[in-house]
Amino acid sequence: MNRSTFEILILGSSAASPTSERNSSAQLLTISERYMLVDCGEATQIQLRKYKAKFQAIDHVFISHLHGDHFFGLPGLLGSMHLLGRRQDLNIYCPKELKNILDVINSITETRLNYRVNWHFTANDGLQLLFEDEKVEVFSFPLRHRIFCTGFLFREKPSPRKIDKYILEKLSISVADILRLKAGEDVENELGVLIRNEDATLDPPPARSYAYCSDTIFDPSLVQYIKGADLLYHESTFLEDQAERAKKTFHSTAKQAATIASMAEVKQLLLGHYSARYRDLDLFVEEASSIFKNSILSGDGKKIKI
C-alpha cells in the first residue's frame, strides 16, 4: 500500500562547530505534504538549496534551544524567504528569547518581512501541544541541557478505518453510515441489519511518530515522552571515551542514546550531533548497536523514511 510521505532529510549532523563534511544541526521533515524544519544551524538555507528542498514550502520551524549551532541559520533563511517573494505566514516554535534576537537584528538591519511570523513559545512543562491539524500533531517536551531546551514529537493522527469494499458492495449502507464505520462504530443498514465494524472495515495503517532529542544529557525521564516512537533521533555528541565530558557539557554518548532508545522501546535510533573531534562515525553506530541493534547514523543529505 502507498503510504503518505513521512521522511526526514538531514541538513546538518555536526555538534557546535560545523566541519567541511558536516553542517550544524538542521533537519527537514516532510509529513503528508507538510514541510517542517527542525533546528536551523548556520547555512541551513544553503543546505536546503543543495539538496533541492522546497524551502518556501516550509510553514513550521521548530527550534530546540538557543545555542548558535541550532539557530544561527534562521535570520538568513527568513531574509531569503522574504527576498524570494514569500507571502504566507511562517510559524516558529521556540524559546521566547529568540524573538528578542530577531527583533534586534530586524531593527538594526532595517528589515521588514513581507510575510507574518507567528511566534509560539515553548515551555518547560511536560508534553505541550504546539501544532495540530487533521493529519499531524507536534508536541514539545523538556530536555536537560545547559540552557532551556526542548525535544519535539511529531505524530500522525490515527487514520480512519478502511471500508472493506467487497463487503460494501453487498450491503446497503448510507453515506452517513460509511463515515460512522470509518470512525470505528457499528451501524444498522437500511434493512435494519446490524453491521459490526469489525466485519465491514479493515485496520488503518498504524500512525507513525518521530521523536527529536537534541541536545540533552543522559536522562531516562524523557522516555515517557518518546515511548514506542517509530524513529528516535537522539544526540550522540561523544563516544563513551568522553563520557565524563558528555556529562559535564550536558551531552550524551552513543551508548547513552542507545540506552534511551532501548528503554523507550522505539523501532529505530538515529544518531547525530557528532563532535568535530571524531572522523570515523562508524564507531558511533558500533557503540550504539551493542545496546540497541537498530541504530543508524545521520549524515548531511541522508534521507530516512518512516
Binding test (CB under 8 A) with a second copy, winner from 4, 32, 56, 72: 72
| Residue spans of beta strands (DSSP E) within the chain | 6-12, 26-31, 34-40, 58-62, 90-94, 117-121, 128-132, 136-143, 149-156, 162-163, 187-188, 194-195, 201-202, 209-213, 231-235, 268-272, 295-297, 303-305
Pairing of strands 26-31, 149-156: unpaired
Among residues 286, 284, 289, the alpha carbon closest in space to that of 299 is found at 284
Question: What is the closest distance, in whole angstroms, from the C-beta atom of residue 254 to a second copy in the complex?
Answer: 21
C-alpha cell at 7: 521522511
Q: Which position among 100, 172, 174, 290 is part of the footprint of a second copy (CB under 8 A)?
A: 100
Which listed residue (2, 20, 134, 244) binds a second copy by CB under 8 A? 20
Single out the segment in contact with a second copy by CB under 8 A; choices: 39-47, 128-136, 234-242, 260-268. 39-47
Beta carbons within 10 angstroms of residue 17's beta carbon: 13
Helices 74-83, 97-108: inter-axial angle, 10-degree rounding: 50
Q: Is 69 a catalytic residue?
A: yes
- Which one of the spans 17-25, 171-179, 182-190, 292-300 is the region binding a second copy (CB under 8 A)? 17-25
Q: To the nearest whole angstrom, how small is the minimum distance from the Cβ of residue 159 to a second copy? A: 37
Q: Which of 69, 177, 215, 300 is catalytic?
A: 69
57 binds a second copy (CB under 8 A): no
Q: Is 109 in the site for a second copy (CB under 8 A)?
A: yes
Segment interacting with a second copy (CB under 8 A) among 108-116, 124-132, 157-165, 223-231? 108-116
Closer to a second copy at the Cβ: 97 or 199?
A: 97
C-alpha cell at 273: 550531533
**Could you list the active site residues?**
69
Chain residues in the site for a second copy (CB under 8 A): 16-20, 23-24, 42-43, 45-46, 49-50, 66-69, 72-73, 75-76, 79-80, 83-84, 97-98, 100-101, 104-105, 108-111, 146-147
